[in-house]
Amino acid sequence: MNAQPDLIFDPQLIRRFDVNGPRYTSYPTADRFVEAFDANALQDWLAKRAVGGVSRPLSLYFHIPFCNTICYYCACNKIITKDHGRSAKYLKYLEKEIEMQVAALGGSRQVTQLHLGGGTPTFLSHEEMHQLMDAVRRFFNLAPNGEYSIEVDPRKVDFDTVEMLANLGFNRMSVGVQDFSDDVQRAVNRVQSVEETRLVIDAARATGFKSVSLDLIYGLPKQNVISFNRTLEQVLDISPDRISLYSYAHLPGLFKPQRRILQSDMPTPEAKLQILQLAIRRLTEAGYVYIGMDHFAKPDDELTVAQRQGRLHRNFQGYSTQAECDLLAFGVSAIGKVGAAYAQNVKTLDEYYDALDRDQLPVLRGVELTADDLLRRSVIQALMCHFELSMQSIEIAHLIDFRDYFAAELADLAEMQAAGLLEIDGDWITVLPAGRMLVRGIAMVFDRYLRADRERARYSKVI
């Protein structure tokens, strides 16, 4: 494995190659899933896990869609409510879905990774959280050294809640911040002090959490370089293990809450780029390693170590050290992966409850991967996770001649190579320091579906 060089931020190159594109938490991407893949198809794939007597360990994802208040920037599948009767009902159906998936499941029930996302998972009461984790342990075997993570809203969580989560087995936490500026927080309807954020992170450290990740967003209304620099000062003082730095995509036509954000409050594309440049410089100078996409981690963090050792992986929760898991997903809109298939659940509570009332898995759509999909997924994973690709390793794994199979793609990379984004040398394709910020654009060259239709307007910008 080649030593990883540093990241280079080149505004001119970013302007030139910044296109609309997917985030590649899966390939094919979720917008390519088809409704012909239904509940029966998922059941078949769940049963196939035992074929040959070998089954991968499991990763579990639970989507908890409820939030107390609305954050105007949010594009997640969520339900705004203060009524805990709704979460109590949801948990009953969640248990039924677990039971139904497990009834169809072949092979091992050993779990090495679990993630609660949303919405706001900490919307659940202490009793509800116990109820959910009791159900998980009833149906699955949780490995003692597994990764068990939860997304936390610090505005609704105190020390006792964090201690309860630790006692339930959670050992990783993702904390939403976005920005500490008062003006920005008011503009996006998420007012959250540094003090309450620090309280939750201190509690996580005191109760034995192995890793705390903090989420920031650049490009929000009222944001500027000076205010975001103050946010970065406060973040670096908190010193989280990982930092996610997401680009805000303002798509009010698609996401209704974003219509409450004034266009006149939005930073210009130039200002947004300057904010990103500042953030990258501050984080890397503070010792954080650029993992890829929008993720930074400390040098001794498990993600950084996994990347150094060539073990880093990418799934629907982002970067992960768990490469060989089958991902079982539960709840509205949740996406799972079993063998060579992806499946996504229905997106509304009514559809979800209706399917389960009919004793049917609530599958909306999915896809069975072809040999070409599996090949291209390997290529895209390697580029996104390691910034380099051995053509020979792909040839051995997929029984192809790389240069022949990808002749058109390699020709398309010539412009990026000439611009200094990447290098094609002998058996290796290497993303150079100036190309790391644009790795999504490089990966897109290998996306057969994009090559077929060039419909890139459906995605947010890469930067």
308 is in an annotated binding site: no
419 is in an annotated binding site: no
Expressed in angstroms, the distance from the first to the final Cα of the chain is 27
List all residues 6 or more positions away from 374 whose beta carbon is below 8 Å from its beta carbon.
340, 398
* 235, containing H or E segment: helix 225-238
Residues 69 and 336 sit within 8 Å (Cβ to Cβ): no
Verify cis geometry, omega within 30 degrees of 0, for the bond prior to 119.
yes
The whole-angstrom separation of Cα 222 and Cα 194 is: 18
322 is in an annotated binding site: no
249 is in an annotated binding site: yes
At residue 439, what is the residue type? V
72 is in an annotated binding site: no
- Per DSSP, the residues of 147-180 read EEEEEE-GGG--HHHHHHHHHTT--EEEEEEE--
143 is in an annotated binding site: no
317 is in an annotated binding site: no
69 is in an annotated binding site: no
List all residues 6 or more positions away from 51 whose beta carbon is below 8 Å from its beta carbon.
106
128 is in an annotated binding site: no
List all residues 6 or more positions away from 217 whose beta carbon is below 8 Å from its beta carbon.
73, 178, 179, 245, 246, 247, 248
325 is in an annotated binding site: no
215 is in an annotated binding site: yes
Verify cis geometry, omega within 30 degrees of 0, for the bond prior to 11.
no
190 is in an annotated binding site: yes
230 is in an annotated binding site: no
Beta bridge partners of 460: none
The whole-angstrom separation of Cα 321 and Cα 275 is: 29
Annotated binding-site residue numbers for S-adenosyl-L-methionine: 61, 73-75, 118-120, 151, 178, 190, 215, 249, 335
Annotated binding-site residue numbers for [4Fe-4S] cluster: 67, 71, 74
Annotated binding-site residue numbers: 61, 67, 71, 73-75, 118-120, 151, 178, 190, 215, 249, 335
